[in-house]
Structure formats: structure tokens, C-alpha cells
Structure 1
Amino acid sequence: MKIRHVRAIAVFGIALVALTGARGSGGGGCDNNSSSSSSSSTSGGSHGDSDGTSGGSSGGSLPGGGSGGDKAARDVTIDECTYDPATRNLVARITVNNSDAMDYDYTVTMKFTGGAGATAVPATAMKSGIAVAGGGSASAELTTPYTGSGDGSEYTKCEVTRASRF
């Protein structure tokens, strides 16, 4: 192969990475994990990071890019999503891992949905003020009332729809 072809391929590869951006890895939906009704598939300084990206996985982080706005979403791991019959709430248990040196307060929004063709009306839960020290982690529970008349089994998936930190 001639050197000009190698150079052209290298330039194309660099341009492709620059245009699409390097992305972190994420997981699948709740259907492919060990938790029965789970899915994921997030005190501060003077700056905040936020992410409005959807997606996630149980036991994994949200997919995210290299920008600071994606950092908050990548810090959130969904441990479990379930229905609590005692309180009639949909519940998401998460862990927020802060690998930075600064302390942050996180705000996380979750969406509960059903599978394809399911009758579940999407429900949203939000929690703010999740304080995570620099280099530490914190667990949190997000809840939203269950408005259905059954046992909550129509909700098969939950995901982080927004995460920010300040």
C-alpha cells in the first residue's frame, strides 16, 4: 500500500472520531440482567454538569461522552427498580459514584416504563440533593406513586433520563 493511501486512511479515521466523538460504554435494558424488575440503566464547587440523555442499564452506567455534561450521568448506577406493594410506589435504588476530588450534590430523574406493547403509563421520579463526597459514593432511593390498579408488573424497565451535579 502506498504511503498516500495510508495517510488518507489515517486522516479519515481521525476525522471520523472527531465528528462522532468518543463514547463510553453502557449497558442494555432491564431485560438482560440479574435483577427481576430492574433497569438502568446519577457539595459542590462553582460549576455544574448535567445530562439530558436517555438510556441506561441495571448495574451499569449511562452511556456518555467525554464532555463534563455527561459525567453526572456516567456516575449513576441503577441497582434495582421494583414495585413496593406496602407503599404502592415504584422504587428505583441507585448508587452515585463520584470519582472527582470535589464534593457534589446530584439531581437524578428516572423514568419507569413497560416493554414494547405494554400498558404501563410512563412514570417519573426525581431526587435532588444527593450529596457525594469527592472520591466517594452514596446510595439513594427514588420513588413515584403507582397509579395502576394491578401489582406493578407492567413496569419492566426504568432508566435515568437526566442527571446533574453542582
Structure 2
Amino acid sequence: MKLRHARAIAVFGIAVLALTGARGSGGGGCDNNSSGSSSSSGGGGSHSDSDSSSSSGGVSVPGGGGSADKAARDITIDKCAYDAATKKLTARITVKNDGSLDYDYSVTMKFTGSGAVTRTAFKAGIAVTAGSSVEAELTTPYLGSGDGSEYTKCEVDRASRI
């Protein structure tokens, strides 16, 4: 092997070592302990009403390990119903921030039911200071001709925080 090849391999090895960290300490490469934000999908928790009127009980949204999953876990669905007065599908949520930083949350809610066309509602800019919680309401127009009873479930489709 020529000296220039040995030198190139050594430089490459040092660069890889520098980027990944010598002792698994996170180094200069990518690590999973980022405190940044994400706007990918998460969530999966849902809330169902047996009738289309108000409901209580809050259903926590489980999540995994990503930033979007952390945002989804901060959301509890308090009510999922058709509001006859406004002719809108409505989800009332509570966003709880147990962290030490203030966050702005964005939430996409999905309304589904038997034979119903899936409808979505989106709300951005839900500001929650560190250690507190905020209630918010997401609505979408009801396009059916009935009483909204076909919509029996709402769930967090996506959630993010920045």
C-alpha cells in the first residue's frame, strides 16, 4: 500500500471518529437527545362518544420517542362532539407542558365514524408556558345533512411543538 493511501485512510478514520464521538458520547454527529422540534406525524390516541353530545373523561394520547410523539403525549382530548348550534364537529383538548421550556403546539384532529367521510381540523399557535396547561378547541364544518351522529370518534392525527 502506498503512503498516500495509508494517509487517506488515516484521515478518513479520524474524521469518522470525530463525527461519531470516541466513547459513544454523542460526539458531533446525530444523537437522539435533541431538544429541537419536529413537525412529523405522531399521536394515535383517540376519543369516542357513544352519542354526539358532550362527553367527559379525557383520553391521553400515547406516543413513542420522537419530538412529535412528545407533543402528542402532551394532548388530552376532553370532548368530541357535533355542535348543532354552529353546525361544526368540535374537539376540545387540553395541552399540558411538563417541560422546562415554553412551546407553541400545532394539532391536527381527525373526526371519523361509521359511514362518515373523514374530516380534519387544524389549529396552530397553541402557546403553552413551561409547567402549565392550556385548553383549546378545534372545529371543522359539518357537511352532512343529518344530526352529526355518524361522527363517533376523534383522534390526534398529527402534533408538533416548537
Instruction: Report the TM-score when normalising by structure 1.
Output: 0.67
Shift of 1:51: 4.5
1:63 is matched with which residue? Answer: 62
Indicate the SS of the match to 1:72. helix
Does residue 161 (structure 1) correspond to residue 150 (structure 2)? The answer is no
Aligned residue type for 1:162? R
CA deviation profile, 1:45-82 (whole Å, cap 9, x unmatched): x8313441352133122221233331001001000000
**Root mean square deviation, CA, Å:** 1.5
- Measured in 1, the distance between the counterparts of 2:67 and 2:110 equals 23
Aligned residue type for 2:82? Y
More deviation in 125-134 or 49-58? Answer: 49-58
1:47 is matched with which residue? Answer: 36
- 1:92-103 maps to which residues of 2 (within 5 A)? 92-103=91-102
Aligned residue type for 1:112? F
1:88 is matched with which residue? Answer: 87
Structure with max Cα Rg: 2
- Measured in 1, the distance between the counterparts of 2:43 and 2:133 equals 22
1:10 is matched with which residue? Answer: none
CA deviation profile, 1:116-146 (whole Å, cap 9, x unmatched): xx22110000000000000100000000000
1:5 is matched with which residue? Answer: none
Is the 8 Å Cα contact of residues 110 and 159 (structure 1) preserved in structure 2? yes
Aligned residue type for 1:156? T
1:124 is matched with which residue? Answer: 120
Seq. identity, %: 66
- Measured in 1, the distance between the counterparts of 2:82 and 2:59 equals 20
Is the 8 Å Cα contact of residues 125 and 142 (structure 1) preserved in structure 2? yes
Instruction: Report the TM-score when normalising by structure 2.
Output: 0.69
Aligned residue type for 2:110? K
- Measured in 1, the distance between the counterparts of 2:132 and 2:38 equals 17
Unaligned runs of 5+ in 2: 1-34, 48-57
Is the 8 Å Cα contact of residues 61 and 78 (structure 1) preserved in structure 2? yes
- Measured in 1, the distance between the counterparts of 2:155 and 2:46 equals 7
Unaligned runs of 5+ in 1: 1-45
1:111 is matched with which residue? Answer: 110
Is the 8 Å Cα contact of residues 75 and 98 (structure 1) preserved in structure 2? yes
- 1:11-26 maps to which residues of 2 (within 5 A)? none
Is the 8 Å Cα contact of residues 49 and 70 (structure 1) preserved in structure 2? no
1:43 is matched with which residue? Answer: none
Is the 8 Å Cα contact of residues 51 and 72 (structure 1) preserved in structure 2? no
1:72 is matched with which residue? Answer: 71
- Measured in 2, the distance between the counterparts of 1:85 and 1:119 equals 20
